[in-house]
Amino acid sequence: MPSSRRGSGSVILPSGQTIAIHTRTQDEEDLPHATKKTMADHLRKYESLFTLTPQRMRMIVEAFTETLELGLSKHNQIVPMIPTFVFGWPSGQETGDFLALDLGGTNLRVCLVTLQGSGKFEITQTKYRLTEEQKQDDGQKLFDFCAECLKTFVESNVGDGPGMLKEGQILPLGFTFSYPCSQDRIDHGELIRWTKGFGAPNTEGRDVAEMFKQSLAKYNLPIQLTALINDTTGTLIASHYVNPRTKIAVIFGTGCNAAYMEHVKDISKIANLGIPGEAEMAINCEWGAFDSFEHEHLPRTKYDAIVDETSNKPGEQAFEKLISGRYLGEILRLVICELIDEGVLFLGQNTYKLEKPYCFDTAFLSLMESDPTDELLMIIGIFTHFFALETTLAERQFFRALAKLIGRRAARLSACGIAAIVNKMGYLEEGCSVGADGSLYNKYPGFPDRVHEGLQDIFGDKGRNIVTHHAEDGSGVGSAIIAAMTKTRKDAGLYAHV
């Protein structure tokens, strides 16, 4: 038997842990492994499944645009195109102290934002971790927890110094509640459905603003809930506050969504509210639901179908399930499990650790794609440390290529959504900036570039006119700016009934 060349090194994981790894560069005789040729054959099959051609993308954009228009004209559509009652763009001159509370998918964040005018602000914030139990516990208890955290935050920020709250000061609060809600005024919102793994009972179909006001009263807080907003709407307003070329905001993280500014005359479903047609209002698209139930337009593979069927909301959020950071790792895991079942991968090794749904984090895909080493040490680290599995170089190259296919498809589908809004609003000629946020956009290697490449595949050279940039903090700063805009609007008696 030829002598085995061994190498060793260490890898730092996203958690900050350092793990030692040992590589064997020679194919071991004691473990049957897939060869380079087998892996290349399999990769071809997955390339055809996960690749989106420009022609297919243009068809998706067309269907998407029609879906957006339908949502503006009728209530209760699959993509609900929710009117936010945030009127027009910020002037950039808003000033004062405002609180923002953000109930996200993993954390609860409380911010004190001091707006200083001319696009400037200061922010003090604290994060509180949400447990899985809290996400599934009774809804009123969840809002009580929010109020409790607010109380702690306010008490620790009262004082005389700069950026401190005055004793007894009544504060307007923007509550960022990033789940689909139907609103008929800005300080009210009925939860349509939970997303992002939340399932708190006694909440869907109820006015969450009212539930939260009860919690505020229970803890006797000097806070006035001024606006209930979605993080995407906040991102739109905050990004425009800092960069006025911004016309669209998108989130690509655990969930996916978009917001933009629409002419009230084109939102025919709210014609009865008596708001002048020339006014402008931000629309929260909730586009993660595009192509749900019917599944006519999106290129779903059998792995996507399994993700959907085993999710807590089968049939729903079809677009989100192909794009969101919550699902990409699971799609890859399902492909690997299929190859294990077919006897292609990990023969003679115990693969039970990989069989647990959602054990393969989307962060692993980021690491696999950005592994700079020839031996792909990062991928060795992931498989040995988390799954106690040995891999050959051919397998690791296959895993990396597969991660690329899944990540690229997500970015190109994201580009289709952006293109649909650009199409609808006629932004292509003059171009516009798109404020983008979320863990996929910010942390997944090459994601923004692939979105831009997708926009050029859809629109040709003019696609370069649509540029994404890192958005401003929507759920904190954006929420506070909206609270400020709303206070100003209501004080001036403008559309005061909404």
Q: Which positions are catalytic?
A: 178, 193, 231
Contacts of 15 by beta carbon, 8 Å cutoff, 6+ apart:
none
Three-state secondary structure along 140-183? HHHHHHHHHHHHHHHHHCECCCCCCECCCCCEEEEEEECCCEEC
DSSP letters, 214-283, are HHHHHTT--EEEEEEE-HHHHHHHHHHHH-TTEEEEEEESSSEEEEEEEEGGG-GGGGGG---TT-EEEE
d(CA 404, CA 391): 18
CA atoms within 13 A on the CB side of 481: 35
Distance (Å, whole) CA 266 – CA 68: 11
Query: CA-CA distance, 364 to 75, in Å (whole number)?
Result: 40
Q: What are phi and psi of 463, to 5 degrees?
A: -55, -25
What would you report as the CA-atom Rg of the chain, rounded to the nearest whole angstrom? Answer: 24
What does 445-460 look like in DSSP terms, one character per residue?
TTHHHHHHHHHHHHHG
**Torsion sign across C-alpha atoms 290, 294, 300, 303:** positive
Query: From residue 202, how far is each of 26, 137, 207 by CA, in Å?
Result: 59, 9, 11
Q: Read off the tokens for 143.
A: 């809002």
Supply the DSSP string of 364-400, one letter for each residue: HHHHHHH--STT-HHHHHHHHHHH-----HHHHHHHH
Torsion, Cα 210 212 215 216, to 10 degrees, reads: -100
